[in-house]
Structure 1
Amino acid sequence: MPPKSTSIQQNKKPDPQEVPIIFQRYRTELQNLAQKIGEIESEMDEHALVLSTLKPLKRSDPTRTCYRLIGGTLVKRNVLEVIPNLETNFNGIKEVLESLVKNYKNKENEFELWRKEMGVQVSFKKYIIQL
């Protein structure tokens, strides 16, 4: 994570040796957020798939047995018991995803402001930082 006392807040430019380090910290943090967003999206897709499979059964066979893995333990339930829990989890995952996306956008904007303020130009062909 970039230091909290970046030049944006203090109007003081860091040493030229610190610029690549701060740059890499921003890049790493953005990559970590993007990876976490991907994981959460995958989990949300799994929940959506299970819900789309179980919802038709709610009308046709609500007492049908289904199994749910909770903390490494397989639990026997019926469709009516599982659907509300899955919907709650799905909504919670959705909120977390929205929060992570918001954090990513904020961090990306902060990075761009810092980059422009420092006059950092990136050559993507060679990934060279130029001051």
Structure 2
Amino acid sequence: MSGNSSKKPSEQELRIAANQFSSELKAIASKIGELEMQLDEHKLVIKTMSPMNEDRKCFRLVNGVLIERTVKEVLPALETNQEGISSTIEQLTAQYKAKDKEFSEFQAKNHIRIASA
């Protein structure tokens, strides 16, 4: 029975595992792209609002609700969000690199080449 644990995986099992790696990598890359767009939007808004008078009225959309605030109230929140988004992008990038390395090792170990479409 212990011989089964060292059994070489079938071609179908390898294909499923490779597809799973690809799907996970695509999902992480998609999330990184989405967050980079949000980061760019935050940078643009912060750049636009920074020179404004801090008592100036502005509006912020929070969970689909438009809220009236001042620049003084909104700007620090935007900067905090920007830092959080940057941090999340860094974490996801590290996760992507680790998963990509794991996939490369899996491919080398099992002699897998991905055919270009």
How does the TM-score come out when normalised to structure 2?
A: 0.91
SS in 1 for 2:59: strand
Q: Tell me the distance in 1 between the aligned counterparts of 2:47 and 2:7.
A: 54
Instruction: Tell me the distance in 2 between the aligned counterparts of 1:121 and 1:83.
Output: 49
Show the counterpart of 2:75: 83
Q: Which portions of structure 1, spanning 4 or more consecutive aligned residues, are displaced by more than 3 angstroms?
A: 10-13
Q: Does 2:59 correspond to 1:67?
A: yes
- Alpha-carbon separation, structure 1, partners of 2:7 and 2:79: 49
Q: Distance in 1 between matches of 2:111 and 2:6?
A: 14
Q: Which residue in 2 is equivalent to 1:7?
A: none
Any unmatched runs of 5+ in structure 1?
1-9, 127-131
* 1:1-131 alignment, distance < 5 Å: 13-57=8-52, 61-124=53-116, 126=117
Q: Which has the higher contact order (CA 8 A, sep 6+)?
A: 2
- Judged with a 3 Å threshold, the aligned counterparts in structure 2 of structure 1 residues 12 and 107 are, in CA distance, closer, same or farther, namely farther
Cα distance in 2, alignment partners of residues 43 and 11 from structure 1: 46
Displacement of 1:13 in angstroms is: 3.2
Instruction: Indicate the structure with greater helix content.
Output: 2
User: Matched residues, percent identical?
Assistant: 40
Q: Which runs of 5 or more residues in structure 2 are unaligned?
A: none
The root-mean-square deviation of aligned C-alpha atoms, in Å, is 1.4
1:66 CA drift (Å): 0.4
**Aligned counterparts of 2:99 and 2:6: Cα–Cα separation in 1:** 19
**Code of the aligned partner of 1:108:** D
Q: Aligned to 1:56, what secondary structure does the other structure show? A: coil
**How far has the Cα of 1:11 moved from its partner?**
6.7
TM-superposition CA deviations, 1:36-93 (whole Å, max 9, x none): 1110101111111100000111xxx221100000111111111111111101111011
Hey, what's the Cα distance between the residues in 1 that align with 2:74 and 2:62?
Answer: 11
Task: Specify whether residues 67 and 19 from structure 1 end up closer, same or farther in structure 2 by C-alpha distance, changes over 3 A only.
Answer: same
Does the 8 Å contact 1:13/1:118 carry over to 2?
no
What is the aligned residue count? 113
